[in-house]
Amino acid sequence: MSTVAVRWSDDVRRSYSQLIDTMLGQGAMAAAQSVSELAVQQEVWRHPLQRPVHYHPSLDPVAVYDPADYWFCGYLEENYPQIRAELDAITDPTSAGFLPVEEPLLGAGRWQQVTFYEAGHRFDDACERFPITASVIDAIPEAAAAGTGVVTLSWLYPGTRIVPHCGGTNARLRVHLGLRVPEGPRLRVGDQILTWQEGRCIVFDDSFEHEVWHDGDQPRVVLLMDVNHPDLTDARLDALLAGRQSYDARVTSFLAERGFRRIEADGEAVRADLDEGHASQVVRYLRERGARAAELRDDGTLIFDLDNEVAQ
């Protein structure tokens, strides 16, 4: 391996990652592999299938771990019957707080989740809906208040495809507790194919390239939990915890990046008011077309609502 005299920044890793993901998205597998191997040669990462933007080179590139090595896996499995019973009381996921996953990773199908924790922030609404599950999660500080990732119930519908991708950091591991596992779904992590079992945990590093297929005919539901990587030094973990954004700061960034001044929700209906710059663009676009509204549909078709007609 070559010796590189610089410490690569997150921007360099992000650029490599975006290029590789674009190649994969266009089906250029050989080209993507070549760029991944070049990145390893340049010591951007240590493994061509592990490509996080926020990277800790001191952590060994291991894709899949033994659940028996982690106390909380046995604890989750012991509590599986209670968690499963609470889940089985749900007849309509949407009414129980499940929402579409907002990541651009869905190649096909439908994927919903309920979020209990994100970067140490506890979502009280979810915890009140699933008090038994929440009490189990709260007893695992590595994932809950002292965690840097997310804890969710992940509901994957038949026919769903989650495209190959790498998680953002190798500073944590991902745990899945199988809750409802029909025939059909499977998970690739690195070069390994995994399947879920009801009442059992799997542990993997999601900064490795991974993807999911659900070829069955019933929903797959898992409790998904990020935990701090056990090999992080205390100093590094303290730095990560200190660097967590507050919930208000994350919402502020979300609004600012999208030009929103105000957002409000009434059930599933959402209204957003734009800042002056984005609002001016909207007015100009509509005036140029002589329209009062525009709609971008799921298939990518743009529809203009004119004074007395609708035009594509």
Residues 203 and 144 in one domain: yes
Would residue 208 count as lying in a domain? yes
Residues 79 and 174 in one domain: yes
Cα separation, 206 vs 209, in Å, equals 7
3-state class (DSSP) for residue 187: strand
Cα separation, 201 vs 189, in Å, equals 15
Residues 201 and 238 in one domain: yes
Strands 220-228 and 150-156: antiparallel
Residues 91 and 188 in one domain: yes
Residues 262 and 277 in one domain: yes
Instruction: Give the per-residue pLDDT at 279.
Output: 79
Would residue 59 count as lying in a domain? no
Last residue of a domain, one of 244, 261, 290: 244
Would residue 55 count as lying in a domain? no
Cα separation, 293 vs 52, in Å, equals 40
- CATH number of the domain within which 97 lies: 2.60.120.330
Instruction: Give the per-residue pLDDT at 118.
Output: 95
Residues 80 and 158 in one domain: yes
Query: What domain range is 29 assigned to?
Result: 10-41
Would residue 57 count as lying in a domain? no
Instruction: Give the per-residue pLDDT at 259.
Output: 84
Instruction: Give Cα separations from 89 to 2, 123, 129 (angstroms).
Output: 57, 21, 11
Would residue 58 count as lying in a domain? no
Would residue 263 count as lying in a domain? yes
Last residue of a domain, one of 219, 244, 269: 244
Put simply, whether the predicted model's pTM sits higher than 0.85 gets the answer: yes
Would residue 72 count as lying in a domain? yes
114 Cβ contact partners less than 8 Å away, ≥ 6 residues apart:
96, 97, 98, 99, 126, 129, 130, 152, 153
Instruction: Give the per-residue pLDDT at 266.
Output: 72
CA-wise closest residue to 152 among 88, 77, 101, 208: 101
Residues 104 and 191 in one domain: yes
Residues 198 and 272 in one domain: no
Listed as ranges, residues in the chain with pLDDT below 50 are: 1-5
Instruction: Give the per-residue pLDDT at 3.
Output: 44
Residues 32 and 75 in one domain: no
Residues 305 and 178 in one domain: no
Instruction: Give the per-residue pLDDT at 267.
Output: 66
Residues 176 and 307 in one domain: no
Q: Count up the domains in the chain and report the number.
A: 3
Residue 266's φ and ψ, nearest 5 degrees, are -130, 95
Residues 91 and 213 in one domain: yes
Would residue 86 count as lying in a domain? yes
Last residue of a domain, one of 244, 268, 300: 244
